[in-house]
């Protein structure tokens, strides 16, 4: 039962290097380029039982504002499956099979998946196993950077919809959006953890008691992984 509870918490708390005492991973993101075709990831077993970890590499795309993953052979990660004893560490080597001349940043994820032990399978016990995805980005050949354009619309249900499109050639991670000028006493703030890949878009809904008038210039304060940015989209 302790193992199940620990793993459940691990699935929820993924913002830290330590995953609820089960194991730690560092770094939590891999960046590759033509100058840096390989990197290493360290996994340490912090639990009291041995763990078998299997690796899965996928390409990362976004369609309709949602993430889509497909198996890929563009990268290699070794060892692809391994056992870690309690307190031990394992180094994973990650690299590009070949370096294409990307015009836009390429995005992938490396999933680390705990494999149920034979004892668990034979006993018939149902355990929640750990599965963590580490983002991997391959920089384009030209200087990279995200560029966001914003659009604001309001539905009949009095819900403000903000849509951001990234026209730059690198991703951006949005962590918080504050919307002002909605006739509210203070800005409406929503926290999230949303990646917008190069050339892709995402949208967020903000319930409001009153839709802004057409042509109203909203004030956005957006916290991202490259700092806080400001925008003034016009309500449509």
Position 2 scores a pLDDT of 38
* Range scoring the smallest mean pLDDT among 96-105, 134-143, 164-173: 96-105
pLDDT of residue 219: 92
Range of the domain at 16: 2-138
State pLDDT tens for residues 163-214.
999 999 999 999 999 998 776 678 889 999 999 999 999 999 988 767 788 8
Task: Out of 108, 138, 168, pick the residue that ends a domain.
Answer: 138
In the prediction, which pLDDT does 188 show? 86
Checking if the pLDDT of 141 tops 90, the result is: no
Residue in the structure block whose two tokens are 């919307």:
179
**Domains of the chain: total:** 2
Q: Is residue 163 part of a domain?
A: yes
Same domain for 114 and 220, yes or no, is no
CA distance 74 to 183: 50
Residue, of 100 and 148, whose pLDDT is higher: 148
Residue 165 inside a domain? The answer is: yes
Burial class (CB in 10 A: 0-12, 13-18, 19+), 12: exposed
Per the domain annotation, does 197 fall within a domain? yes
CA distance linking residue 34 with residue 141, whole number of Å: 8
Q: Which of 7-21, 120-134, 166-180, 198-212 shows the lowest per-residue confidence on average (mean pLDDT)?
A: 7-21
User: Are 124 and 65 in the same domain?
Assistant: yes
Residue 67 shares a structural domain with residue 14: yes
Q: What is the CATH number of the domain that holds 111?
A: 2.60.40.10
Say if residue 43 is in the same domain as residue 84: yes
- Residue 24 above 70 pLDDT? yes
pLDDT at 152 over 90: yes
143 belongs to a structural domain: no
Measured CA angle at 22 (ends 18, 28), to 5 deg: 35
Residues 116 and 182 in one domain: no
Residue 100 has pLDDT above 80, yes or no: no
Provide the whole-model pTM. Answer: 0.84
Of 18-22, 61-65, 144-148, least confident by mean pLDDT is 18-22
In a 3-state reduction of DSSP, which class is residue 8? Answer: helix
153 and 196 both lie in a single domain: yes
Mean pLDDT of 111-125: 71
Residue 48 in domain = yes
CA 98 to chain centre: 24
Structure tokens at 39: 């990197």
CA distance 138 to 96: 9
Query: Is the peptide bond between 27 and the residue preceding it cis, with omega within 30 degrees of 0?
Result: yes
Examine residue 126 and state whether it is found in any structural domain, yes or no: yes
Residue 236, in any domain of the structure: no
Residues 6 or more apart from 160 whose CB is under 8 A from it?
152, 153, 154, 179, 182, 205, 206, 207, 208, 211, 212, 235
CA 203, 207, 208 angle in degrees (round to 5)?
125
Domain identity same for 193 and 220: yes
DSSP 45: E
């Amino acid at each position: 039962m302790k193992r199940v509870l620990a793993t459940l918490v691990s699935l929820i708390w993924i913002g830290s290097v330590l995953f609820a005492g089960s194991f730690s991973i560092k770094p939590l993101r891999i960046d590759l380029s033509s100058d840096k075709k390989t990197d290493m990831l360290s996994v340490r077993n912090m639990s009291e039982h041995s763990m078998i970890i299997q690796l899965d590499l996928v390409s990362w795309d976004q369609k309709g504002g949602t993430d889509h993953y497909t198996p890929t052979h563009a990268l290699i990660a070794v060892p692809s499956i391994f056992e870690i004893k309690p307190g031990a560490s394992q180094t994973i080597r990650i690299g590009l099979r070949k370096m294409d001349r990307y015009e836009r940043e390429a995005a992938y994820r490396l999933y680390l998946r705990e494999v149920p032990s034979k004892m668990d399978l034979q006993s018939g016990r149902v355990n929640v196993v750990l599965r963590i995805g580490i983002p991997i980005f391959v920089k384009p050949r030209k200087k990279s950077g995200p560029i966001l354009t914003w659009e604001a619309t309001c539905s009949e249900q009095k819900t403000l919809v903000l849509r951001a499109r990234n026209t730059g050639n690198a991703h951006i991670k949005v962590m918080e959006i504050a919307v002002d000028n909605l006739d509210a006493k203070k800005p409406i703030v929503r926290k999230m953890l949303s990646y917008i890949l190069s050339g892709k878009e995402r949208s967020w809904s903000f319930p409001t008691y009153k839709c802004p008038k057409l042509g109203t210039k909203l004030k956005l304060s957006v916290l991202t992984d490259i700092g806080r940015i400001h925008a003034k989209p016009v309500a449509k």
